Amino acid sequence: MLLTITTKRSPATDLGYLLHKNPARAHEVSLSFGKAHVFYPEAKPDCCTAALLLDLDPVGLVRNRRGPGGEGRALEQYVNDRPYVASSFMSVALSQVFGTAMAGRSKERQELAEQALPFHVKVAVVPCRGGEPVLRKVFEPLGYTVVVTRHPLDETFPEWGESAYFTVELRAVHRLKDLLAHLYVLLPVLDDDKHYWVGDDELQKLLHHGGDWLAAHPERELIVQRYLKYQKRLTRRALAQLVEDEESDPDAEAEIHATEEAVVEERITLNQQRHAAVVAALKATGAKRVLDLGCGEGKLLRVLLEEKAFSQVVGMDVSYRALEVAQERLHLDRMPTKQRERITLFQGALTYRDARLEGYDAATVIEVIEHLDPHRLSSFERVLFEAAKPRAVILTTPNAEYNVKFETLPAGKLRHKDHRFEWTRQQFQHWAMGVADRFGYSVRFLPVGPEDAVVGAPTQMGIFARMGSR
Residues that bind other proteins (CB under 8 A): 1-2, 4, 24-26, 37, 39-43, 51, 53, 55, 58-59, 63, 72, 74, 77-81, 83-85, 124-125, 127, 151-154, 156-157, 159-160, 163-165, 167, 318-320, 347-356, 371, 373, 375-376, 378-379, 382-383, 386-387, 418
| Shortest distance in whole angstroms from residue 134 CB to other proteins | 17
Q: Using an 8 Å Cβ cutoff, are 97 and 38 in contact?
A: yes
Backbone angles phi, psi at 126, to 5 degrees: -105, 120
What gap in Å lies between CA 313 and CA 288, rounded to an integer?
8
- Closer to other proteins by CB, 324 or 451: give it: 324
* DSSP string of 184-239, one letter each residue: HHHHHHHHT--SS---HHHHHHHHHHHTTTTTT-TTHHHHHHHHTTT-HHHHHHHH
Q: What angle do CA 204, 206, 210 make, to 5 degrees?
A: 125
3-state secondary structure of 302: helix
| Shortest distance in whole angstroms from residue 83 CB to other proteins | 8
Question: Exposure of 14 by Cβ count < 10 A (0-12 exposed, 13-18 middle, 19+ buried)?
Answer: buried
- Closer to other proteins by CB, 205 or 382: give it: 382
Q: What angle do CA 132, 230, 180 make, to 5 degrees?
A: 55
- Closer to other proteins by CB, 63 or 267: give it: 63
Core vs surface per residue 132-151: b (16+ CB within 10 A) or e: eebbebbbeebebebebebe
- Closer to other proteins by CB, 42 or 140: give it: 42
What gap in Å lies between CA 461 and CA 453, rounded to an integer?
17
| Shortest distance in whole angstroms from residue 56 CB to other proteins | 11
Q: Using an 8 Å Cβ cutoff, are 441 and 468 in contact?
A: no
| Shortest distance in whole angstroms from residue 387 CB to other proteins | 7
- Closer to other proteins by CB, 301 or 384: give it: 384
| Shortest distance in whole angstroms from residue 346 CB to other proteins | 9
| Shortest distance in whole angstroms from residue 35 CB to other proteins | 10
| Shortest distance in whole angstroms from residue 20 CB to other proteins | 18
What gap in Å lies between CA 95 and CA 102, rounded to an integer?
7
Question: Phi-psi bin for 129: left (phi > 0), alpha (psi -120 to 50), beta?
Answer: beta
- Closer to other proteins by CB, 58 or 450: give it: 58
- Closer to other proteins by CB, 79 or 454: give it: 79
| Shortest distance in whole angstroms from residue 7 CB to other proteins | 17
- Closer to other proteins by CB, 125 or 242: give it: 125
